[in-house]
Structure 1
Amino acid sequence: MEHKHNHTDKLLLKTGEGRTYQCGTMKAVFKADENETDNKYSISEWWLEPNSEGPGAHLHEENDEIFYGIEGTTSILVGDEWHNIEKGTFLRIPARTIHDFANKTNEKCGVLNFFIPGGFERNMPSIVKWFEENK
Structure 2
Amino acid sequence: MGDETNTIILKSGEGRVYHCGTMKAVFKADEAETANKYSISEWWLEPNSGGPGAHQHEENDEVFYGIEGTTSVLVGDKWVNVDKGTFLRIPSKTIHDFANRTNKKSGILNFFIPGGFERNMPSIEKWFEDNK
TM bin, normalised by shorter chain, reads over 0.9
Alignment of 1:1-135 (within 5 A): 3=1, 5-135=2-132
Instruction: Supply the distance in 2 between the matched residues of 1:17 and 1:125 (Cα, whole angstroms).
Output: 17
TM-score normalised by length of structure 1: 0.97
Shift of 1:6: 1.2
Q: Name the SS of the counterpart of 2:102 in structure 1.
A: coil
TM-score by length of structure 2 reads 0.99
> Aligned-pair distance for 1:121?
0.2
> Distance between the aligned counterparts of 1:71 and 1:10, measured in 2?
26
Amino acid at match of 1:108: K
Identity of aligned residues (%): 78
Looking at structure 2, the residues matched to 77 and 134 of structure 1 have their Cα atoms a distance apart, in angstroms, of 23
Distance 1:57 1:9 in 2: 35
| 3-state DSSP of counterpart to 1:55 | coil
5+ unaligned residues in a row in structure 2: which ranges?
none
Q: Helix, strand or coil for the counterpart of 2:67?
A: strand
The RMSD of aligned alpha carbons is: 0.4
> How many angstroms apart in 1 are the aligned matches of 2:46 and 2:3?
32
CA drift at 1:122: 0.1
C-alpha distance after superposition, 1:68-106 (max 9, x if no partner): 000000000000000000000000000000000000000
> For residues 57 and 122 of structure 1, what CA distance do their matches in structure 2 show?
19
Once the two structures are TM-superposed, the CA of residue 9 in structure 1 deviates from its matched residue by 0.5
